[in-house]
Structure 1
Amino acid sequence: MVVYKVTVSTAYFSGATTINNVFIKLVGTDGESEPQQLLGFKGAATFLSGAVSSFTVSCPLSIGKLVLIELDKQSFLLFLEDSWLPAKVEVKSPEGDVYNFPVYRWITDGAVQRFREGTALRVFEDNHHLGRYSRQQELKQREEDYRWDVYAEGIPHCIKTDSPLSLPCEVRFSFTKTTEFLFTVSAGLTELQLKGLAGSKENWTNIDDMKRVFCCKRTDLSEYVQEHWKEDAFFGYQFLNGINPMMIRRCEALPSNFPVTDDMVFLQGQCRLAAEMKKGNIFLCDYKLFDGVKPNVINGKKQYLMAPLVLLHKTPDDKLMPIAIQLKQKPADDNPIFLPTDSQYDWLLAKIFVRSADFSDHQLNVHLLRTHLLAEVFAVSLLRHVPMVHPLYKLLIPHTRYTLQINFLARLLLISEKGFFTEFAASGGEGMITILKRSLSSVSYSSLCIPDDIAERGLQAVPNFYYRDDGLRLWDIIHRFVQGILGYYYKNDSEVQQDSELQSWIGDIFEHGFLSQADTGIPQRFTAVEQLVKFVTMVIFTCSAQHSAVNSGQYDYSGWMPNTPISLQLPPPTTKGTASEATMLQTLPDVGTTVRAMSTVWLLSKQSSDFIHLGCYPSDHFSEEIPCKVIKDFQGELEVLSGAIKVRNKSLEVPYTYMDPTEVENSVAI
């Protein structure tokens, strides 16, 4: 008789406890044990949340190298079936070998669940017949659990589900996350002390009234925005380090539909546009995405969404200053080019129309499409095609946490027929899907990879561009991490090419995320190790750093509504000299729309108490020595970068924190 020592860890997670009977069977290369009930001296506390309990399993003979374990849970006497979340199982063999079995999966009924030994295995090296069978059965079940659905034609596909409760347990919010999220949604207006204003359709009559409302909830940066939102230098700064750093690009030649002249922008002939463009000092933001989009109707009133062009100039003191704004794409007498030399409210109103367009581009294109919807595609494809024992699953599963549920809630609460964005944004309603379709057609693989994107936009040398500086360093750190993990498992290109599960994953992403559009540059299959490493780096960067960069500052920059209006109620001036403070106030969103927008961006910026920052992996999916060392090295590099960012920020008037690794969540979870 030989004895195996079994140690079972229950996850430290609300509701993870079971008082049901738990059985285990060990399966090895030379045989298997009989199913045995795990009876511990702790009694009912054996499988409490956070408990670690040890047992012995006896076999007549050694069963060889362990391949998998089977766990099942049976209700006890009159007790109801409950749910159990085991974290991992460790088995020490009579020969002294230690086998780790990562679980991290809810067991909700009496069905037998199989879990593989923690050593990562690619499909072509999984030689044991029971291992292969387990792998096939796992993916068969996953394809049933995670099905594709089409929310709207022309945008990335999503998971098919009717409610959060119909999602598999593993991808749902924790109890803590659920409680906090529901409280924040229900209490948002109350917390901001704005509940009495939510239904108001009145226009603002003065800025001071806005300030009194805004004072209910502030951050250091939102206060700075309130004080500086009118300034040209801050207007330009936001294109680099605000919540939408994806619009600006170097201008080497003026678009034909933007007829700016030297005399307009450089008084007394001190500079020439051509010369400044050659030096790399002229930049363009072009919102042509919105040209011809039908704007929303709010409270029975037509709204306005422009498709502006903005020209910016890098000054000798390294400030990025707006020098010309055209609010519609087609030049015309009733579409003037606004200049800093125009009257105060002509120029301010032109900037307000730009900031409103930027809000829509940020929310629909940069934030929703390029992080949330793509992260969901990456996650669903992973769960459908890659089993737990695969190294890619182990690497990416932490970066899918909560994404499927948060996206379901976004579709339900924000962009549905009665969603907030649909009802209160100028780009909501009919125009929203048009914008999302156009946005997807503009997505390229290179635009999702920050080194390529920065180079393509010509922004390598722009000073004070902290999104770029921190983002490039984070990309490099993540790339080295991914190279270390995947390079350990894939020694040559042929191993990548013959991994059918990898190929199914990328094929699903190409089809359901990018709708089989070859011109996006997204790989349709992997042919080389480095190609795989780059793509996985992009996935992790998108789900963590990029999402943080475009999500975390929403209240900072949009809480003070005039800086980022969700909608505008009047068309832009068609002639100069007609704008006034009264015109501006009538153009801005009404009181109710303003306070609802404040509440929403407050919710979207609120960090959960079970936030897990980049590089923190509470679940031990890897067990081999080298991958574990690579993870520690990764965490060390992130810690060094975080320290450097904190030191730099001490000297900045406006600190840039959104890509500090300690502030970056591992996944799209809010």
Structure 2
Amino acid sequence: MEVYTVTVATGTSEYSGTNNYIYVTLVGEAGESERTLLDNPGLDFCRGAVDQYKVSSFSPLGPLLLVRLEKQRYWVEDNWFCRYVSVEPPGGHEVLTFPCYRWFIGDGQLEIREGTAKTLKDESSPELLRHRRTELEDRQKTYRWISWASGIPRCIDAKTEADLPQDVRFDNEKRSDFEHSLHYALLELSLKKLVVQFGKSWNDLDDFKRIFWKLRSPIAEYCMDHWREDWFFGYQCLNGSNPRMICRCRKLPDNFPVTADMVQISMSSRTDLQQEVQAGNIYLLDYSIMDGVPSNTIKGLRQHIAAPLCLLYQHPDRGLVPIAIQLGQTPGLDTPIFLPSDPPLAWLLAKMWVRHSEFQVFQLLSHLLRTHLVVEVFCVATLRQLPAVHPIYKLLIPHLRYTLEINCRGRSQLISPDGIFKRVCPPEMMMMMVMMMVVMVVMMVMKMMKMMVVSTGGDGLLVLAQKEYQVLTYRSLQPPCDFRDRGVSQLPNYFYREHSLLLWEVLHSFVSGMVTLYYQSDGDVREDLELQTWIRDISQEGFTELPSFGLSSSLSSREDLSTLLTVVIFTCTVQHAATNNGQFDWCAWVPNTPCTMRQPPPTDKDAVTMEMIMATLPDVSQSCVQMAITWHLGRAQPDAVSPVSMILLGQYTDEHFSEGRALEMIDRFRVELKEIEDHILSQNQGLDLQYLFLLPSRIENSITI
């Protein structure tokens, strides 16, 4: 009789434990063990438990191949989350670890294999080849592609989040945190009193402080004090919530007839506009993508959209400052060019219109499309085409956590034909609608909820996303290429650029090391049939209707693979943090980044009054929703939640890798992230306006919000 010591680890989140029957069978090359009920005296399979058992076999099993786990109902159905199983063979042989990290739902069985990462060519056992093939066949039935709407990336085939497998759902702690945090925001802001004031304008700019007195941050307060200043406007183009919009202006656009005389007062002495263009000191914000996008209508009141052009100058003393703004793409008498020398209120309102367009672009394009929806493609393809033992699956899966549920909830509850996006919100319903957000308790839902009070809600959301998708390129997702192509490599105080490149290099080095560990040559990459099927699924199924994306449908080298994997992980982590984590800081002071505009852009610079500005900015209820949601989305999760629900960049709580060299690389990756952390903190010491959004300790390991 051979006796094996089997250790079973249950999940640590709420409701991971079970009181159902759990059986185990060890499968080796020479046979199977007895089917053994795991039943020690006392409590087995409690939350966080690590239980040990003895499993017998009448004869030696030889090298172990699989662990077969079975769950059977005892009294009532009780789901179970298994982290891993470890097996110590008789005779003091090396302990083998079998990663699981799966939910057992209902009666059934699951076979898991030892954790050493292997590509298809590394397999020699017919039994393991069968297991590999069966796993993918089952996953492809579970995770299917669907086109939710034409002209955007394809997504997971799930009508609601309830259709998703439990393995990709939120844990209970995360759901609870959502509910309590938004409820807290509503109470703190006294929104129950203010949110019903739909259509009521504030009396003056200082009135916005009425929703700004409890939920605060150092940057939001700094923004409230400095938002009118031109240098602060320029700073946000570099380090705000959408820091990749600005481009070098190599030639003035034909539809933006700015003359040297117009802006000479903004230039430093002994220079002019043309000289500064040639010197590379003139930059452009071009919101042409907003042109023609239909605007939202809320309770019969049409909201308004502009497609501005904004010229900026890198002044040697004042920093990056705006010097000319045109609020439409077609110049004319009704589309004047606003200048800093204009009446102060006219120049202020013009900047507000640019910032309003910025709100739409960063929320829908930089944030939703370029992180959430792009990453979903890689998520679905990974689940469909790579078995759990594949090294690339092990590398990517921690960075894809929760993304499917976030995106699915947004589509099913808000932007579907019957979703909240399409509904009218009369005054008497506004309070109910806000409280509905508490019930939804999903971060993505509430992120999209803002579109009920933004000018691109309804059909405009999809139109804008479709327009951006058509110009989306794989190259633009790579920071080194993106900064070069935008001509912004020399812009000073561009902390987003500096920190992004530092993190990109560390990520690329880590990923390249992992790729080199499992692929000895470029030929190994080309010959990995599962990997090649994965990239075809991404390029041909996920990114459909996108002929100019620029991602090949095959991988020919280790460098190609390393770059692609770095793009995926960077987008899941760094890029998402750059656009998400500062939402409250930059948007809490509503006049700085208004979610909607209730009057059309001004056509007469001399006619701008404070009354016109207040009638244009978001009303009381819209301001309340903007304030509450941006705080809810941009806040740091509480310590009580973070050990389970918030996993930071480089922290791999699910140990998919077991090889010593792979673990050494992960440890080195963490050391390098700590060095970047220290550098950023040192760089920001003493600064009144700190850029800390890309501190590794503030970057989540996946898109979970």
Quickly name the TM-score band, shorter chain normalised: over 0.9
Partner secondary structure for residue 577 of structure 1 = helix
Match of 1:50 in 2: 48
Deviates more, 1:196-205 or 1:340-349: 196-205
Q: Does structure 1 conserve the Cα–Cα contact (< 8 Å) formed by 2:151 and 2:545?
A: no
Deviates more, 1:600-609 or 1:521-530: 600-609
Deviations 1:323-355 (A, max 9, x none): 010110111121111110000011001000000
Q: 1:503 aligns with which of 532, 549, 558?
A: 532
| 2:651 is aligned with 1:619 | no
| 2:603 is aligned with 1:597 | no
Match of 1:61 in 2: 59
Q: 2:229 aligns with which of 223, 231, 235?
A: 231
Distance 1:613 1:217 in 2: 24
- TM-superposed CA distance for 1:191, in Å, is 3.5
Q: Does structure 2 conserve the Cα–Cα contact (< 8 Å) formed by 1:32 and 1:63?
A: yes
What amino acid sits opposite 2:132 in the alignment?
A: R
Match of 2:694 in 1: 659
Partner secondary structure for residue 102 of structure 2 = coil
CA change 1:536–1:457 in 2 (3 A) is same
Partner secondary structure for residue 56 of structure 1 = strand
Distance 1:314 1:666 in 2: 35
What amino acid sits opposite 1:326 in the alignment?
A: Q
Match of 1:447 in 2: 476
Match of 1:250 in 2: 248
- TM-superposed CA distance for 1:412, in Å, is 4.2
Deviates more, 1:159-168 or 1:535-544: 159-168
Distance 2:560 2:545 in 1: 19
Match of 1:94 in 2: 90
Q: How does 1:150-161 map to 2 (within 5 A)?
A: 150-161=147-158
- TM-superposed CA distance for 1:10, in Å, is 1.1
What amino acid sits opposite 1:93 in the alignment?
A: P
CA change 1:408–1:481 in 2 (3 A) is same
Match of 2:327 in 1: 327
Distance 2:318 2:224 in 1: 23
Deviates more, 1:577-586 or 1:599-608: 599-608
Match of 2:40 in 1: 40
- TM-superposed CA distance for 1:152, in Å, is 1.5
- TM-superposed CA distance for 1:513, in Å, is 3.4
What amino acid sits opposite 1:360 in the alignment?
A: Q
What amino acid sits opposite 1:174 in the alignment?
A: D
- TM-superposed CA distance for 1:59, in Å, is 1.7
- TM-superposed CA distance for 1:499, in Å, is 1.4
Match of 1:241 in 2: 239
Distance 2:317 2:414 in 1: 42
Q: Does structure 2 conserve the Cα–Cα contact (< 8 Å) formed by 1:415 and 1:421?
A: no
Q: Does structure 2 conserve the Cα–Cα contact (< 8 Å) formed by 1:400 and 1:668?
A: yes
Distance 1:619 1:122 in 2: 20
Tell me how large the CA RMSD over aligned residues is.
1.5
Q: Does structure 1 conserve the Cα–Cα contact (< 8 Å) formed by 2:248 and 2:282?
A: yes
TM-score of the pair, normalised by structure 2 = 0.92
Distance 1:476 1:7 in 2: 39
What amino acid sits opposite 2:280 in the alignment?
A: G
Q: How does 1:181-330 map to 2 (within 5 A)?
A: 181-200=178-197, 201-267=199-265, 270-317=270-317, 319-330=319-330
Q: Does structure 1 conserve the Cα–Cα contact (< 8 Å) formed by 2:81 and 2:103?
A: yes
Match of 2:8 in 1: 8
Partner secondary structure for residue 8 of structure 2 = strand
Q: 1:115 aligns with which of 112, 116, 127?
A: 112
Q: 1:577 aligns with which of 606, 610, 619?
A: 606
Match of 1:368 in 2: 368
Distance 2:588 2:164 in 1: 33
Q: 2:81 aligns with which of 82, 85, 105?
A: 85
Q: Does structure 2 conserve the Cα–Cα contact (< 8 Å) formed by 1:414 and 1:421?
A: no
Deviates more, 1:292-301 or 1:553-562: 292-301
Distance 2:667 2:60 in 1: 35
Q: 1:641 aligns with which of 676, 692, 695?
A: 676
Match of 2:551 in 1: 522
- TM-superposed CA distance for 1:187, in Å, is 4.9
CA change 1:650–1:415 in 2 (3 A) is farther
Partner secondary structure for residue 452 of structure 1 = helix
Partner secondary structure for residue 105 of structure 1 = strand
- TM-superposed CA distance for 1:422, in Å, is 4.2
Deviates more, 1:87-96 or 1:635-644: 87-96
What amino acid sits opposite 1:441 in the alignment?
A: Q
Deviates more, 1:382-391 or 1:131-140: 131-140
Distance 2:356 2:335 in 1: 18
Q: 1:473 aligns with which of 502, 508, 514?
A: 502
What amino acid sits opposite 1:85 in the alignment?
A: F
Deviations 1:155-178 (A, max 9, x none): 112222233332111111111001
Deviations 1:289-321 (A, max 9, x none): 011112111231122111111110011136100
Deviations 1:552-596 (A, max 9, x none): 110111111101111111112212211111111111111111111
Distance 2:452 2:659 in 1: 52
CA change 1:496–1:415 in 2 (3 A) is same
What amino acid sits opposite 1:464 in the alignment?
A: N
Q: Does structure 2 conserve the Cα–Cα contact (< 8 Å) formed by 1:318 and 1:463?
A: no
Distance 1:669 1:662 in 2: 15
Q: Does structure 2 conserve the Cα–Cα contact (< 8 Å) formed by 1:193 and 1:216?
A: no
Q: Does structure 1 conserve the Cα–Cα contact (< 8 Å) formed by 2:6 and 2:85?
A: yes
Q: Does structure 1 conserve the Cα–Cα contact (< 8 Å) formed by 2:145 and 2:542?
A: no
Match of 2:128 in 1: 131
Unaligned segments of structure 2, at least 5 residues: 422-448
Unaligned segments of structure 1, at least 5 residues: none
TM-score of the pair, normalised by structure 1 = 0.97
